[in-house]
Amino acid sequence: MDHLVIIGNGISGVTAARTVRKTSKMKITIISGETDHFFSRTALMYIYMGHMKYEHTKPYEDWFWEKNGINLIKGWVEKIDTDNKYVEMKDGRIINWSKLLLATGSQPNKFGWPGQDLPGVQGFYSLQDLELMEQNTAGIDHAIIVGGGLIGIEVAEMLHSRNIPVTFLVRENNFWDIILPEEEAKMINREIVEHGIDLRLATELKEILPDKNGRVRAVVTDKDEEISCGFVALTVGVHPNISLVKNSKIETGRGVLVNDFLETSVPDVYAAGDCAEIIVPGEARNRIEQLWYTGRMQGESVGKTIAGKRTKYERGIWFNSAKFLDLEYQTYGFVSNIPLESENSFYWEHENGKHALRIVYKKENRAVTGINVFGIRMRHKVCENWIRERRPLEYVLTHLRDANFDPEFFKRHEQAVIDHYNKKNPQNKLQLRRRRLPAGLFSE
């Protein structure tokens, strides 16, 4: 009987296992040194904040795995032998496989700062990182966060929930402006400051200083300012976890190199999720997609291939969502932080600075290519269809009600958006259409 071994029990590995099990009776083994069971990594922050317990983050009961014939092994893989098709565990166990899926996830970045390995300094990615953060932040009176990305803002919210004063070092001129246009980035700046967090823009870490016991006591910035602290979170992004694979015959770049079917350079070996680097022929840079939903989609695609139905991974239209403290964010398609020559954008922002909508469209035909939304919940499918169907800007604006997904008593902003457009385009005024509902019903 074929034996599928999966290294990593995150969303990609577990989705692949479940997909294979639906159509195949092959033996399946998942190996992870992090936890006994699959859990929702995105919920780790809520454990620290006291909103959840670890057991609440597990989507499946512990008996689920045995019932579905999926073997679980807790431990670390030390070696992969692709010639003889086995993996060697750190404790010396040998596990043979006929098919191997690498789903090893990511690791936090470090950039060689002096003192980056001191006690009290860490990244945030795994359950072990959460447990270490519990220890490292106990009794401290000040924390430093280095890096202005999504993990950094999560850690800021975690620390803020425990009333730990935070200084946030962000090397960019505005928060996450390597991704977001200036207006949206400045919204996040304001949100961070309004929560009492000391935001230091255009500021980089230079050095981390120890106390007499060898534990972190302060950081020094590139402006030679010393800031005392008891904890430093290094949240300057993550990189594919490929340390295990580098000593094998499996080809790697920044990640484990795979084709569109998530197949590696070695037959019967696959990779999916954060660790995979998808080769893009003719492009200068391959794709690494480190998102929960792309990890799930990759797991499903590669699971079908492993089970005998070779399936190309097709992500479709790009989507992401996040929360910057109390500010919700969604993006659909592609919105460049710096305007592209071939595109224009329409931008509306509420006077309270808590709600915004940006719609990017082609100059030549006004077809919408990307949407940023802040503080307004939009229906995923509706926004995705607008982009897929190349709907023009004016169509999207007049049909905004179709996309609104805010709770019943939330204030609506569609008319304010239309009014803003009409003020800028008095020669081409638009009018909101009624919202289309199932069974021919209409509202508003």
Q: How big is the chain by its Cα radius of gyration, in Å?
A: 24
In 3-state terms the chain splits into helix, strand, coil percentages (rounded to 5) of: 25, 30, 45
pLDDT in tens, 10-51: 999 999 999 999 999 999 999 999 999 999 999 999 999 999
Total count of domains within the chain: 3
Tell me: do 325 and 438 sit in the same domain.
Answer: yes
By the 8 A CB rule, do 106 and 276 touch?
no
- CB burial of 394-422 (b: ≥16 within 10 Å; e: otherwise) equals bbbbbbbbbbbeeeeeeeebbeebbebbe
Q: Would you state the pLDDT for residue 283?
A: 77
Tell me: do 436 and 413 sit in the same domain.
Answer: yes
The CATH number of residue 334's host domain is 3.30.390
Burial class of residue 105 (count of CB atoms within 10 Å of its CB; 0-12, 13-18, 19+): buried
- Phi, psi of 65, rounded to the nearest 5 degrees: -70, -45
**Amino acid letter for position 94:** I
Of 275, 306, 337, the domain-final residue: 306
Tell me: do 171 and 244 sit in the same domain.
Answer: no
In percent, the amount of the chain with pLDDT more than 70 equals: 98
CA dihedral 281, 284, 285, 286 (to 10 degrees): 10
Tell me: do 143 and 178 sit in the same domain.
Answer: yes
189: three-class secondary structure by DSSP? helix
Does 442 score more than 70 pLDDT?
no
- Phi, psi of 13, rounded to the nearest 5 degrees: -65, -45
Residue 312 belongs to a domain: no
pLDDT in tens, 134-157: 999 999 999 999 998 899 999 999
Of 218, 236, 254, the domain-final residue: 236
Tell me: do 256 and 355 sit in the same domain.
Answer: no
Of residues 114, 125, 135, 374, the one with CA closest to residue 236: 125
Structure token pair of residue 36? 């006994």
Residue 101 belongs to a domain: yes
Tell me: do 327 and 436 sit in the same domain.
Answer: yes
Of residues 386, 327, 341, the one with CA closest to residue 359: 386
Instruction: Quickly state the pLDDT bin for 83 (edges 50, 70, 90).
Output: very high
Tell me: do 247 and 98 sit in the same domain.
Answer: yes
Residue 151 belongs to a domain: yes
Tell me: do 368 and 419 sit in the same domain.
Answer: yes
Residues whose CB falls within 8 Å of the CB of residue 324, separated by 6 or more in sequence, listed in order: 153, 175, 188, 191, 192
By the 8 A CB rule, do 390 and 416 touch?
no
In percent, the amount of the chain with pLDDT more than 90 equals: 93
Residue 421 belongs to a domain: yes
Of residues 255, 215, 216, the one with CA closest to residue 106: 255
By the 8 A CB rule, do 280 and 272 touch?
no
Tell me: do 427 and 331 sit in the same domain.
Answer: yes
The mean of the pLDDT values for the chain is: 95
What does pTM read for this prediction? 0.91
Does 323 score more than 60 pLDDT?
yes
Q: Would you state the pLDDT for residue 247?
A: 87
pLDDT in tens, 260-309: 999 999 999 999 999 999 999 887 789 999 999 999 999 999 999 999 99
E strands in 171-284: 198-200, 205-210, 216-221, 226-228, 231-234, 238-240, 256-258, 269-271, 276-278
Task: Look up the domain containing 150 and give its range.
Answer: 121-236
Q: Per-residue pLDDT averaged across 304-321, rounded?
A: 96
Tell me: do 375 and 268 sit in the same domain.
Answer: no
Instruction: Quickly state the pLDDT bin for 64 (edges 50, 70, 90).
Output: very high
Query: Angle at CA 144, nearest 5°, toward 139 and 147?
Result: 145
The CATH number of residue 181's host domain is 3.50.50.60
Of 221, 236, 251, the domain-final residue: 236
pLDDT in tens, 341-390: 999 999 999 999 999 999 999 999 999 999 999 999 999 999 999 999 99
Tell me: do 249 and 228 sit in the same domain.
Answer: no
Residue 96 belongs to a domain: yes
Residue 313 belongs to a domain: no
Which helix (DSSP H) or strand (DSSP E) does residue 160 occupy? helix 150-161
Tell me: do 391 and 323 sit in the same domain.
Answer: yes
